[in-house]
Amino acid sequence: MIPFNKQIIFATRPLRYAFDTFTYRRFADPAPLAALKDRHKGKPMLVVGNGPSLNQTPLDDFAHVPSVGMNKIDMIYSRTKWRPEVVVCLNNMVAKQNQNAFATSEIPVFVAWKARWYLRAENRKRLNFFDTTLSNAFSKDPVQGFGSSATVTYIALQMAYWMGADPVIIFGVDHSFKYTGPEATYQKREGPDTNHFDPNYFKAGTYWGTPDLDQSEIDYMLARQAFEADGRQVYDATVGGKLEVFQKIDLSYAHGMVNLS
């Protein structure tokens, strides 16, 4: 049973969030995010995670479908013609580690405003930013801020909602991690990364953020409720995925769904 105190996130540093919101509205350019509103209204979109199941997912078969990618998804580009339409990054450490790839990407990358301090000044100028709110309430207007989360997938789902997607089909969100120690903290990696589609996703000796799967499930439920309240659907086509919040479909059904629209 999920502890009651995890049902709603309130930031532990509210003054920092207030400062970030003030500076975001003062200095960031919201136009790139605003321009995405309803871009694919009523059309299928993919939300593509970074789990090892992507190695069993024929992304090339879905190359024609608009997608939201996450974090270091660029590491799979050499193996597929599929590309996301936008990429989102929430985690400070990922932003720091992957900033050069983000800054040189031909695909628009949106990074959390809170992570800007981890980026070199020249890279900040080349990226788009989004703000995050004090709570994890699902945001229907991300220009005012995305709902905070324990997982970047929640940001991606809010982005797909903002872009008008219906349905959303999830790939690569395995919702299963191998690690020891506490959740929601930074750890130094040892050995190959078995939690992502590439063994070098987080290289040995680098740091990664351990997951909080309980809180992630709460956020996913908020996303499901928001989509369904608007008459839209989210399906999960992750191969062998452990997430049980969204209706499961297999790859052949997903392929038929995107080709019927």
Q: How many domains does the chain have?
A: 1
Residue 60 lies in a domain: yes
Residue 12 lies in a domain: yes
Q: Please report, for the domain that includes residue 39, its CATH number.
A: 3.90.1480
Parts of the chain with a pLDDT under 50: 1-6, 10
> Which residue in the block uniquely carries the two structure tokens 């297999």?
250
Residue 261 lies in a domain: no
Residue 257 lies in a domain: no
Q: Range of 207's domain?
A: 4-248
Residue 29 lies in a domain: yes
Residue 132 lies in a domain: yes
Question: Which pLDDT value is given to residue 12?
Answer: 59
Question: Which pLDDT value is given to residue 4?
Answer: 42
Residue 254 lies in a domain: no
Non-local CB neighbours of 199 within 8 Å, separated by 6+ positions = 192, 193
Question: Which pLDDT value is given to residue 13?
Answer: 73
Residue 52 lies in a domain: yes
* Global confidence as pTM: 0.94
